[in-house]
Amino acid sequence: MPSALESAPASPRAALSPPCPRPPAILARMLSLGDFEHAARRRLPRPIFGYIAGAAEENASRDDNRAVFDEYAFVTRVLRDVSQRSQAVELFGERYATSFGIAPMGIAALSTYRGDLVLARAARAAGIAAIMSATSLIPMEEVVQACPGTWFQAYLPGDQARIDALVERVARAGFTTLVVTVDIPISANRENNVRTGFSTPLRPSLRLAWDGLVRPRWLLKTVLPTLARHGMPHFENSFATRGAPILSSNVLRDFSARDNLSWDHLAAIRRRWQGPLVVKGILSVEDARIARQIGADGVILSNHGGRQLDGATSPMRVLARVVDTLGPAYPVMIDGGFRRGSDVLKALALGARMAFVGRPFNYAAAVAGEAGVRHAIDLLRAEIDRDMVMLGVKAWAELGRDALLHKAACRFQA
């Protein structure tokens, strides 16, 4: 597998990616990841945007994922030569250009044409990590063939035989890093999806039809090309075999019977899977310890973007304790609410090895396809670079907890 180099234009990954056409004019107005959300709201039908943006019940966990970053303030260092700085990070024997990646996002192909490929190609061109979602509408084999080095995220079926068959398929496809998401033992109460008109299975409605008609760009560039060239989208990667169409009532079978899963199932995967194994959806220090004991090569702290248990803590609130328990050499990664370079650096200062960003890259794809995702990556990398200079650090490993002050602690001491 080729390495991802610090400089994207010189990367062999970038050389393999087809050159992008002239960037869409709208990108000149996209100055931050937040700008993509506002633009995507105008471009996507309300049910599709609502599915991406919404979370569970009161959205408390989703909102806390953002609020937690405001609780930390930086302590800068000055007059330090940082002219030879690098964002590069080593992970599982691979060198990535920076310490953030693209999180797995389901049904991305409803946001933009061939969305999973769009995200993976942009990540490969930039030399960053990307995780393909199990609830994707493009066969995993197509994505990994086009973008070797992409990680695959699996939701476990409810019995060992189907788990084994899925793991075999992932290995046969050519993925080398397997991410097992463990925080969906049952479907969450996503009433916000219902309010915006989204459902599983996706049901045609007058609202969806009207939203498509008044957003002709989405209809002409995403829906019609998908149907004409690939037929009705299916959930392609939930099992070893093709799943149900997105309009079929049988879709619900793909998301059921997970409440019987246990650490024994994960241990069985560890015995079968030969490459790096990552456990995603950890919030407990004890669960992180168990994951390491059964042989997981890393963990991703996550509350599923606030889309599961509403009121679950932000991963940032448990990050330092997990790192202290597992040790700095063990890869602890994180997702949830990352929107700025400063957010990423705060996580690194608390001991994270990599931060994964989800919704903003989905919005960027909806706004301008692969060019949009590349632009979003560039924006975040530029923010990190500037912030590193102002913090006085040349590499992520120089960041420590002495670079942060928790504002509540400051008030208490005062």
Tell me which residues are annotated as active site.
Answer: 304
How far is it, in rounded angstroms, from Cα 104 to Cα 102?
Answer: 7
Reference 351, options 290, 298, 276; nearest CA is: 298
Using the Cα atoms of residue 406, residue 91, residue 289 and residue 339 in order, give the sign of their dihedral. Answer: positive
Residues 385, 97 contacting (CB under 8 angstroms): no
- DSSP state, 218? H
Residues 245, 253 contacting (CB under 8 angstroms): no
Residue 385 annotated as lining a ligand binding site? no
Residue appearing with tokens 């304790």? 321
Q: Is 152 helix (H, G, I), strand (E, B) or coil?
A: strand
Residue 317 annotated as lining a ligand binding site? no
Q: What type of residue sits at position 177?
A: T
Residue 106 annotated as lining a ligand binding site? yes
Residue 304 annotated as lining a ligand binding site? yes
Pairing of strands 89-91, 94-96: antiparallel
Residues 65, 360 contacting (CB under 8 angstroms): no
How far is it, in rounded angstroms, from Cα 296 to Cα 286?
Answer: 14
Residue 280 annotated as lining a ligand binding site? yes
Reference 63, options 279, 339, 297; nearest CA is: 339
Residue 359 annotated as lining a ligand binding site? yes
Residue 394 annotated as lining a ligand binding site? no
Residue 226 annotated as lining a ligand binding site? no
Residue 203 annotated as lining a ligand binding site? no
How far is it, in rounded angstroms, from Cα 291 to Cα 294?
Answer: 5
Reference 180, options 149, 159, 157, 153; nearest CA is: 153
Residue 4 φ then ψ, to 5°: -95, 115
Residue 133 annotated as lining a ligand binding site? yes
Residue 72 annotated as lining a ligand binding site? no
Residue 148 annotated as lining a ligand binding site? no
- Tokens (6 digits) for 80: 């330090």
Reference 319, options 308, 330, 309; nearest CA is: 330
Up-side HSE of residue 98: CA atoms within 13 Å toward CB?
27
Residue 153 annotated as lining a ligand binding site? yes
* Residues 382, 386, 391: CA angle, nearest 5 degrees: 145
Residue 342 annotated as lining a ligand binding site? no
Residues 320, 401 contacting (CB under 8 angstroms): yes
Binding site members for FMN: 104-106, 133, 153, 181, 280, 302, 335-339, 358-359
Binding site members: 51, 104-106, 133, 153, 155, 181, 190, 280, 302, 304, 307, 335-339, 358-359
Binding site members for glyoxylate: 51, 155, 190, 304, 307
